[in-house]
């Protein structure tokens, strides 16, 4: 394929991604992630994945997208903004911004399918798959490779223009495109705000997070009881945690999202500290009907709230 045609296709895809509401779109060549291999292996060997045993599976596929999609040529990395300044009742348990509204998996997947349909309509028969945080794909590595940002000291992908309050997703397709070959330089400098602010000391080195100590892990992924060593260190988080992003200077550039599906329901905004502590399963099902909070299940949320209450 001629370089001009590849460039034309890439520009077409990026323009449509913007129309669909994506914050940004970058494209990288589908190949083996050589630099990520030793990092992932070391992270797993140190047990930083805790009870997330699924992280041990499909090691090769995590590093090579061509094992996930036949004849994969391109990784289209996309970001979707979820930044919100919504205020909850003072003293009430906190949930991460990404879980305020509808489950992002569903919202993003629909957009990815629309983008893939568009590619097929405009370009022709293109094979590919959509990925949203539910398959062995190293989202941040591909986004970095596509020039969307750098991996910050808190382990998140950071954009100089947009901060880090965005979801990452991918289309892996068998079409050769023009690739973004200018990875963003690391702009964290000597700043250690995220490391200093983490109440559970989960950021053990720049860009290395011990997942088993992260509040997000403790409130979502951990299925057993929260270890007593974290008493008084949860900062009132009942689901997820935004601390390392809240203190990041680059997030002064975050802008409010425009995605109506991410708006929190009125019932959630109205919940008081007492409402949270006395939450019933019926209320849980009603308030979090379409929310990512369902991941922790009612018993999990109860456990988290009880742990905070007894701190």
Q: Collect all residues with Cβ–Cβ distance below 8 Å to 297 and sequence separation of at least 6.
A: none
CB 144 within 8 A of CB 157: yes
For the chain, the helix, strand and coil percentages under 3-state DSSP, each to the nearest 5: 45, 15, 45
Give one word for 12, left, alpha or beta, with left for phi > 0 and alpha for psi -120 to 50.
Answer: alpha
Phi, psi of 209 (to 5 degrees): -110, 125
3-state secondary structure of 81: strand
Q: Alpha helix (H) ranges present in the chain?
A: 3-19, 36-45, 59-63, 104-123, 139-145, 193-197, 215-216, 243-246, 266-270, 273-277, 281-287, 297-309
The number of helices, as runs of H, and strands, as runs of E, in the chain is 12, 10
CB 244 within 8 A of CB 156: yes
Let me know the angle formed at the C-alpha of 90 by 89 and 92, rounded to the nearest 5 degrees. Answer: 70
CB 305 within 8 A of CB 95: no
DSSP annotation of 201 reads -
Q: Which residue has the tokens 């000391």?
A: 201
Let me know the angle formed at the C-alpha of 104 by 281 and 176, rounded to the nearest 5 degrees. Answer: 155
- 133 as an active site residue: the answer is yes
Q: Which of 60, 70, 103, 133 is catalytic?
A: 133
Q: Which residues are known catalytic residues?
A: 133
């Amino acid at each position: 394929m001629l370089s001009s045609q590849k460039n034309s296709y890439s520009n077409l895809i990026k323009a449509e991604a913007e129309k669909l509401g994506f914050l940004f779109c970058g494209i990288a060549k589908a190949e083996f992630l050589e630099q990520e291999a030793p990092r992932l292996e070391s992270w797993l060997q140190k047990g930083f994945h805790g009870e997330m045993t699924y992280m041990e599976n499909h090691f090769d596929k995590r590093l090579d997208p061509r094992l996930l999609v036949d004849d994969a040529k391109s990784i289209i990395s996309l970001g979707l903004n979820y930044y919100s300044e919504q205020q909850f009742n003072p003293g009430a348990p906190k949930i991460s911004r990404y879980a305020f509204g509808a489950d992002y998996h569903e919202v993003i997947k629909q957009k990815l399918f629309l983008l893939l349909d568009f590619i097929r309509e405009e370009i022709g028969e293109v094979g590919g798959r959509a990925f949203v945080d539910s398959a062995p794909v190293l989202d941040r590595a591909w986004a970095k490779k596509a020039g969307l940002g750098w991996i910050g000291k808190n382990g998140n992908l950071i954009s100089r223009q947009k901060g880090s309050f965005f979801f990452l997703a991918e289309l892996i397709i068998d079409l050769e495109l023009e690739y973004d070959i200018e990875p963003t330089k690391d702009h964290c400098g000597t700043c250690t705000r995220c490391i200093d602010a983490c109440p559970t000391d989960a950021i053990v080195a720049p860009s290395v997070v011990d997942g088993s100590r992260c509040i997000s892990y403790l409130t979502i992924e951990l299925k057993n009881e929260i270890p007593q060593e974290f008493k008084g260190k949860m900062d009132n988080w009942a689901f997820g945690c935004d601390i390392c992003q809240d203190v990041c200077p680059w997030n002064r550039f975050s802008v409010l999202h425009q995605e109506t599906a991410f708006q929190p329901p009125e019932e959630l905004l109205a919940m008081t500290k007492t409402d949270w502590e006395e939450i019933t399963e019926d209320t849980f099902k009603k308030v979090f009907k379409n929310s990512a909070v369902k991941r922790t299940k009612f018993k999990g949320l109860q456990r988290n709230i009880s742990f905070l209450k007894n701190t």
